[in-house]
Structure 1
Amino acid sequence: ATSGHIEHGEHHPATELRIVLIGGRYNDLHSGKSSAGNFILGQNVFDTSRRTAQSEARQQEVFGRRVTVVDTPGWWWKVPREETPKLDQIEIQNSVHLCPPGPHVFLLVIPIGLHLCQDLKSSLKQHLELFNADVFSHTIVLFNAVDPCSDEVIESIIKRIPDMQRILQQCGNRKHFFNISNREDRDQVKKLLEKIETLITNNGFRHCSVDRSQGETLRKEMRDLTERASKRFDQVQKQRKKLKELIEGSITYPRCLCVSGQLEFGW
């Protein structure tokens, strides 16, 4: 896999790495964040059969490092942030509080085959604003290929998309390629972890800054939103039950006249 413009010096493996996976979906094309998380950790710890509704953290030892990966809800690539459900936005924001004291890196997961247009770039920028200002200095773009695909082919695809070039520039041209179809090739994961360690070194060993008080505020917002949603659900259920009782209680036979042994309905 190609390293992008990352300086390689003497390599000292970190003992702990904290990773947050972010990204969106486009029509039926999912970013594959959960699959990427499973690939990194070497175990199927994230459920890939459903959409990720809540941010969740999982931890494993990988190549001698304690690696924490946080999966997050994806947004629709072509949808502005104001149309992303509020609870999803809060869950995305809360992801950085699930790997204290803060993530070393955000992996922006983009599936190969996603054609970026202006809407997608705008949506990405708006959703990354959910995090603090230095998110780009802690981001590596992770291109996810489900079908077998060479690094050269992926490079040629990227070069044909100007907006992708701009996104990469914002992320310091840091990128990595995953061929998810080749899960036996753990060297892909090892190289990614090395790139993350180089990024940490270049950032002066600083993780992305996290406001603890914001975490408490987000948790309260989540509780309030969940409680309101639960109350609305209960109200709907009660209304349905009441309506059912009214309908069942109001069933009466029409006024009828019995003529020659037959029922004749009169309206």
Structure 2
Amino acid sequence: MAASVDISNSAQSHPVTDLRIVLIGGRHNDILSGKSSAGNFILGQNVFDTSRRTAQSEVRQQEVFSRRVTVVDTPGWWWFWHREDTPKLNQIEIQNSVHLCPPGPHVFLLAIPVDLYLPQWVKASLKQHLKLFNADVFSHTIVLFTAVAPSTYDEKKSRIRRSPTLQWILQQCGNRKHFLNISNREDRDQVKKLLEKIETLITNNGFRHCSVDRSQGETLRKEMRDLTERASKMFDQVQKQRNKLKLQIEGRLKVLFLIRYRALCGRK
């Protein structure tokens, strides 16, 4: 478990000029984590597509409050699924995210809607999916509670207190958290405070980023190419079978039409 560090109101007198962020999180039914929206909010521009599910890891970069901020958005997993139930290509995309911000991310922002109810058994899902990174992710993680409706700080804290699972997640992350109202894009002070918390985390980690095995990057890219090629071949085979079946059906319909036509002509 990561050591508990209170960074709720901390700020750095010497800001880090280069911040590398990876957004991670799960989903439940129609409730999305808000990762892509949070990424757009942080960067101050609509650079991530929020109209669809994130299918592959994407990286964007902007200057934010005199810092060069790199944000990687990742595919989300289903909170109630074990890792083996998550599609292999999604797992590879999640793993590959850390290779899109070399030499490695300073922080993982674990996006969780503040109103989302998470039962106890999602702990296993979270731990299993974070093992995809082969690193001590919790010591580099801040829980990013996302919200679309305004609420007071006390109301947000009350929701967390009522959720043993959220309390457990926060304990794993050293009680590091930030609330982000993604519907209030004009309030840039939310982003400024988040960046300050990230800088405090970087300082507490001795300015070390999350360790990344560079050799794994090429292996992951090869796996993605192989999976994509196999999927493409399977798609082509299915299309050929569908076209063949379509021709067979059309041929039989023509035969039936001719038989019926001749039968009708024979009656005249």
Same-fold status (TM-score > 0.5): yes
2:241 maps to amino acid: Q
Residue aligning to 1:262: 267
> In the aligned structure 1, how far is the partner of 2:209 from the partner of 2:221?
22
Cα deviation code 1:9-32 (max 9, x no counterpart): 752111100000000111110000
CA contact (8 A) 1:24 1:30 kept: yes
Instruction: Report matched runs for 1:1-267 at 5 Å.
Output: 5-6=6-7, 8=10, 11-250=13-252, 251-252=254-255, 253-254=258-259, 262=267
Q: Is the 8 A contact 2:10 2:196 kept in 1?
A: no
Matched letter for residue 38 of structure 1: N
Residue 16 of structure 2 aligns to a residue whose secondary structure is coil
Describe the SS at the equivalent of 1:88. helix
> Which one-letter code corresponds to 2:119 in the other structure?
C
- % same residue: 77
| Cα drift, residue 239 of structure 1 | 1.0
- The Cα shift of 1:240 comes to 1.1
Structure 1 gaps of 5+ residues are: none
- Secondary structure of the residue aligned to 2:166 is helix
* Inter-partner Cα distance in structure 1 for 2:235 and 2:62: 38
Cα pair distance change 1:257/1:235, threshold 3 Å: closer
Question: Hey, what's the Cα distance between the residues in 2 that align with 1:258 and 1:160?
Answer: 76
Q: Is the 8 A contact 2:21 2:71 kept in 1?
A: yes
Alpha-carbon distance between aligned partners in 1 of 2:90 and 2:26, rounded to the nearest angstrom:
12
SS of the residue corresponding to residue 254 of structure 1 reads helix
> Greater CA deviation, 208-217 or 123-132?
123-132
1:13-62 CA deviation, whole Å, 9 max, x = no partner?
11100000000111110000000000000000000000000000000000
Please report the TM-score for the alignment, with normalisation by the length of structure 2: 0.92
CA separation of 1:73/1:257 partners in 2, compared to 1, >3 Å: closer, same or farther? closer
Paired amino acid for 1:20: V
Contact 2:27 2:76 survives alignment (8 Å)? yes
Alignment partners' CA distance in 2, 1:125 and 1:169: 13
- Cα displacement (A) at 1:262: 2.5
CA distance in 2, matches of 1:192, 1:11: 15
- Report the 3-state secondary structure (helix = DSSP H, G, I; strand = E; otherwise coil) of the residue aligned with 1:240: helix
| One-letter amino acid of the counterpart of residue 95, structure 1 | S
Unaligned runs of 5+ in 2: none
- Higher relative CO (CA 8 A, sep ≥ 6), structure 1 or 2? 2
Tell me if the contact between 2:12 and 2:199 (Cα under 8 Å) persists in the aligned partners: no
Counterparts of 1:185 and 1:8 in 2: how far apart (Å)? 19
1:201 partner letter = T
Q: Say whether the 8 Å CA contact 1:146–1:181 is kept in structure 2.
A: yes
Residues 79 and 119 of structure 1 are in contact (CA less than 8 Å); yes or no, is this contact kept in structure 2? no
Check conservation: 2:11, 2:197, Cα contact below 8 A: no
- Preserved contact between residue 17 and residue 104 of structure 1 (Cα < 8 Å): yes
Say which structure is richer in helix.
2
| TM-align CA RMSD | 1.8
Q: Deviations over 1:207-250 (max 9, x none)?
A: 00000111110000000000000000111111111112222223
Cα distance in 1 for partners of 2:34, 2:263 equals: 69
